[in-house]
Amino acid sequence: MTAPMVVAQGVTKRFGSVEVLKGIDLTVARGEVCCLLGPSGSGKSTFLRCVNHLERVDGGSITVDGERIGYRRRGDLLHELAEREIAVQRRDIGMVFQRFNLFPHMTALENVTEAPVRVRRLSRAAAREQAHALLDRVGLGDRAGHYPAQLSGGQQQRVAIARALAMEPKLMLFDEPTSALDPELVGEVLDVMRGLAADGMTMIVVTHEVGFAREVADTAVFMDGGVVVEAGAPRDVLDRPGQDRTRSFLAKVL
Amino acid sequence: MSLVPSVSGTPAAMPTAPDVPHEQLRTVPMRHRGRWAAAAVALVAGGGTLWSLAKNPNLDWPTVGAYLFHETVFSGLVTTLWLTAAAMAIGLAGGTVVAVLRLSANPVLSTLAGLFVWFFRSTPILVQIIFWGFLGALYPNLMLGIPFTDITFYSASTSAVITPTVAALLALGLNEVAYAAEIIRGGIQSIDPGQAEAAHSLGMKPGLTLRRVVLPQAMRVIVPPMGNETVTMLKTTALVSVIAGHDLMSNIQDVYAQNYKVIPLLVVAALWYLLLVSLLSVPQGWLERRYGRGSASAAGPSALRRLLTVRAARPGGPRTHTRIRKGNKA
């Protein structure tokens, strides 16, 4: 058995006096698609942002591919890493945001080539070639020269996925990737994510799309109040939930 | 017959010829008679002022002509130009540093940057210029060393180092640092934090994120007020005449102190400042287009354009053009 891609142990996080994560334990295997579901304020987005240290965890640990994220252990203490060391760790972890966060002053192509050229030191020609291939893969080969403002929300989100893939990550994090989209544009983004999952990408997806979770996820995790309420195969968690909280949440969203 | 009495909707109230179909009715745009009257009054007043100037012998156009391209004026012009450029360069570079310090998580650096801005914005530029000009009265000697020790690397008399030109440059440059810092800080803070998060999640380090993602977007907010600052700076250089800065205004003053032709020489100065400021709008427009890439701009036509197209534009009313700005690269 190969080592898991993500291991979270006892992760806690507080904003001021509010404890938003109260000890999260989660393991994601290589090639696994893990969907985090739960009501807003349950801490699922915060947990996702801890995985690439956009939020610092206050206790516990997260490792990605065996490497501890954001901290170095010396004895019993975890020392936070410098920004540039964290930047190196983040190269291998792609992230897709609810609000896309494309760079508006760059074309779709430039959005996708920026990090490979500046961070991975890829040649401009190689980066462009790779970017064209990635834009083709998300179905936007003919939109390379468009600025984000000229693209629909669904197209922007697909460019954002291509931008993250350009760093050739081992792990992809999706933070409610379809929540800011008009209903008729959700499908095109989910299709791209389905394709990624089929290609064996390890993915953690915070989503409200129960249908997507049931169809694509290997593991569904239901969170509420900063804890994991239940986790397991989607057909168990989503169709035969063992906990009342899960049942009442699913009754509301379905 | 209707039970509700109609005031305007009855056929009797509509003086429409019954044989004209509705789709052939023409509309007549509102006649803005007040606008024409106001324009006529303004033209008469403006024309009268210009006429009184043109026929005023005290303006002495021959003297204006004689000095417009005079050697003294030109050398002052060169000083004014490089002083403006150098002070703005100091302001932009220093302002970026102070703005970043101001936004830094380090409370000491952030407070010091805030104090710097507070001090230089809260004292008149004229006071600062004279202060730097008379720095020798405060520190007769300047030395470079380690504070609170006797270690000195370099020492010189203040008057030898701080010439009037250096004093002018220091005063204008440091003052501009303070104003530029606030403009740049505002520009940086106007950018959605999600932009920096997206850059960080791609493995971009803080410096690279600032340079490639945040600042290029902030420039759209920064360029217009910085253009304003450059115009102000060009004219503010005239104040260094109080410490004999040899700029355009200093030299003009030198000339009229000798020949007493104050008004014609001030006209010479005004003409040059007018020309230089007008030329500055060219690079500003270029920069605004350069950093406006990818943004939808709702810019209406200029006042001059509206004046020239007053007839053509009338039926549709004011039009706004919304389009995406594209860069030069295809």
Which two tokens mark A103?
């760079």
Q: What is the rounded CA–CA span in Å between residue A56 and residue A112?
A: 27
What residues have CB less than 8 Å from B306, skipping those under 6 apart? Answer: B313, B318
Q: Which residues of chain A have a CB within 8 Å of the CB of B201?
A: 52, 54, 90, 93-95, 164
Residue type, A159: V
Nearest CA in chain B to A116: B202
The interface pTM score, or ipTM, of the predicted complex is 0.95
Counting every residue written for chain B, the total comes to 330
Query: Which secondary structure element, helix H or strand E, spans residue A26, and what is its range?
Result: strand A18-28
Nearest CA in chain B to A85: B205
Of A112, A101, A105, A151, nearest to B290 by C-alpha is A105
CB pairs below 8 Å between A and B: how many?
A: 79
Q: Which residue has the tokens 């106001």?
A: B38
> Is the alpha carbon torsion for B155, B159, B161, B166 positive or negative?
positive
Q: Does B137 fall in a domain?
A: yes
Count of CB atoms situated within 10 Å of the CB of A93: 25
Q: Work out the angle between the directed axes of helices A108-118 and A153-165 (0-180°, nearest 10).
A: 20
Q: Which residues, listed in sequence order, are joined to residue A18 by a DSSP beta bridge?
A: A15
- Burial A128-140, CB ≥16 within 10 A → b, else e: bebbbebbebbbb
Nearest CA in chain B to A53: B201
- CATH code for the domain in which residue B274 is found: 1.10.3720.10
Q: Does B77 fall in a domain?
A: yes
Span A180-230, pLDDT tens digits: 999 999 999 999 999 999 999 999 999 999 999 999 999 999 999 999 999
- Residue A233 touches partner B, C-beta closer than 8 Å: no
| Separation in Å, CA of A166 to nearest CA in chain B | 9
Tell me the three state secondary structure of residue B28: coil
pTM of the complete model beyond 0.90: no
Q: Does B12 fall in a domain?
A: no
Q: Which residues of chain B have a CB within 8 Å of the CB of A97?
A: 194, 197-198
Count of CB atoms situated within 10 Å of the CB of B296: 13
Nearest to B294 among A99, A106, A163 (CB): A106
Q: Does B280 fall in a domain?
A: yes
pLDDT in tens, chain B (330 residues): 445 554 544 455 555 556 778 888 888 888 889 999 999 999 999 999 999 988 888 888 899 999 999 999 999 999 999 999 999 999 999 999 999 999 999 999 999 999 999 999 999 999 999 999 998 888 888 888 888 888 888 888 888 888 888 899 999 999 999 999 999 999 999 999 999 999 999 999 999 999 999 999 999 999 999 999 999 999 999 998 888 788 999 999 999 999 999 999 999 999 999 999 999 988 888 888 888 887 755 344 555 566 666 554 444 444 444 455 554 443
Q: Does B307 fall in a domain?
A: no
Query: Which secondary structure element, helix H or strand E, spans residue B155, and what is its range?
Result: strand B152-157
Count of CB atoms situated within 10 Å of the CB of A240: 11
Nearest CA in chain A to B325: A147
Of A173, A30, A156, nearest to A94 by C-alpha is A173
What residues have CB less than 8 Å from B299, skipping those under 6 apart? Answer: B320, B321
- Contact flag A101-B194 (C-beta cutoff 8 Å): yes
Q: What is the rounded CA–CA span in Å between residue B46 and residue B42?
A: 6
**How many domains does one find in chain B?**
1
- Contact flag A87-B200 (C-beta cutoff 8 Å): yes
Span A207-218, pLDDT tens digits: 999 999 999 999
Q: Which residue has the tokens 């909707």?
A: B9
Pairing of β A202-206 and β A171-175 = parallel
> Is the alpha carbon torsion for B88, B93, B96, B100 positive or negative?
negative
Query: Which secondary structure element, helix H or strand E, spans residue B188, and what is its range?
Result: helix B164-189
Identify the domain containing residue B229 by its residue range.
68-146+153-292
> Is the alpha carbon torsion for B83, B89, B90, B95 positive or negative?
positive
Indicate the average pLDDT of chain A.
95
Q: What is the rounded CA–CA span in Å between residue A177 and residue A100?
A: 8
Nearest to B201 among A88, A90, A105 (CB): A90
Span A8-26, pLDDT tens digits: 999 999 999 999 999 999 9
Q: Does B24 fall in a domain?
A: no
Q: What is the rounded CA–CA span in Å between residue A170 and residue B318?
A: 54
- Residue B203 touches partner A, C-beta closer than 8 Å: yes
- Contact flag A167-B203 (C-beta cutoff 8 Å): yes
- Contact flag B212-A114 (C-beta cutoff 8 Å): yes
Residue type, B34: G
Q: Does B111 fall in a domain?
A: yes
For A49-76, give the DSSP string. HHHTTSS--SEEEEEETTEESSEEEETT
Q: Does B160 fall in a domain?
A: yes
Q: What is the rounded CA–CA span in Å between residue B184 and residue B190?
A: 10
B277: Cα separation from own chain's centroid? 9
